[in-house]
């Protein structure tokens, strides 16, 4: 479990959105399918138990959630999207020619970046957030 239903309902409510069964199921699915699910994964997972929840609704809702900032949209090199229930600062490990993506949490690195960009001034640009795409090889 880890994340209770009450928590999910509250997450949705605090955005000002109406609380619907569909939205609850969708957010549950994202938390359940931890590993950066594709829209397709989310749709399948939900429709297995709730065939009446439509694809269109799921896409719309994912967009809405991303807009409200309660989930993240991960850019892929394949042109399809993946979603991400994690909001706290993290980076992504990726291997070329492989769909695997792992989250990478590193407080030292975050600190280093924050320090660097607080002293470094990029002319004409105000930095708000930094995310690393770390490419390499998985050893496992």
Cβ-contact 114, 123 below 8 angstroms = no
| Contact between residue 70 and residue 16 where contact means Cβ atoms under 8 Å apart | no
Neighbours of 52 (CB within 10 A): 9
56 contact choice in its own copies, DNA, none (CB below 5 to 8 Å, kind-dependent): DNA
Residues 6+ apart with CB under 8 A from 94: 100, 101, 133, 134, 135, 136
Q: Nearest approach, Cβ of 26 to DNA (angstroms)? A: 8
Build a one-symbol-per-residue string for 74-103: x at contacts with DNA by CB under 7 A, - elsewhere: -----xxx----------------------
DSSP 8: H
Q: Which of 7, 14, 35, 40 binds DNA (CB under 7 A)?
A: 40
61 touches which of DNA, its own copies, none (CB within 5 to 8 A by kind)? DNA
Instruction: Specify the residue, 6 or 122, whose C-beta has the smaller distance to DNA.
Output: 6
For residue 21, give every residue at least 6 positions away whose Cβ sits within 8 Å of its Cβ, in sequence order, or none. 53
Q: Are 15 and 8 in contact (CB under 8 A)?
A: no
Q: Which stretch binds its own copies (CB under 8 A): 2-10, 11-19, 48-56, 72-80?
A: 72-80
Closest CA to 91 of 125, 55, 136: 136
Given the rule CB under 7 A, which residues bind DNA?
13, 17-23, 38-40, 52-57, 59-61, 63, 79-81
* Interface residue list for its own copies (CB under 8 A): 73, 75-77, 79-81, 93, 102, 104, 106, 108-109, 112, 116-117, 120, 122, 124-140
């Amino acid at each position: 479990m880890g994340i209770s239903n009450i928590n999910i309902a509250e997450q949705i409510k605090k955005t000002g959105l109406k609380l619907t069964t569909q939205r609850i199921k969708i957010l549950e699915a994202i938390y359940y399918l931890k590993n950066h699910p594709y829209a397709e994964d989310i749709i399948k997972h939900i429709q297995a138990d709730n065939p009446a929840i439509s694809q269109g609704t799921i896409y719309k809702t994912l967009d809405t959630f991303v807009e409200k900032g309660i989930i993240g949209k991960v850019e892929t090199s394949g042109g399809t999207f993946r979603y991400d229930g994690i909001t706290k600062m993290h980076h992504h490990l990726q291997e070329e020619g492989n769909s695997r993506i792992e989250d990478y949490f590193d407080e030292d690195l975050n600190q280093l970046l924050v320090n660097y960009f607080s002293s470094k001034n990029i002319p004409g640009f105000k930095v708000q957030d930094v995310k690393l795409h770390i490419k390499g090889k998985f050893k496992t």
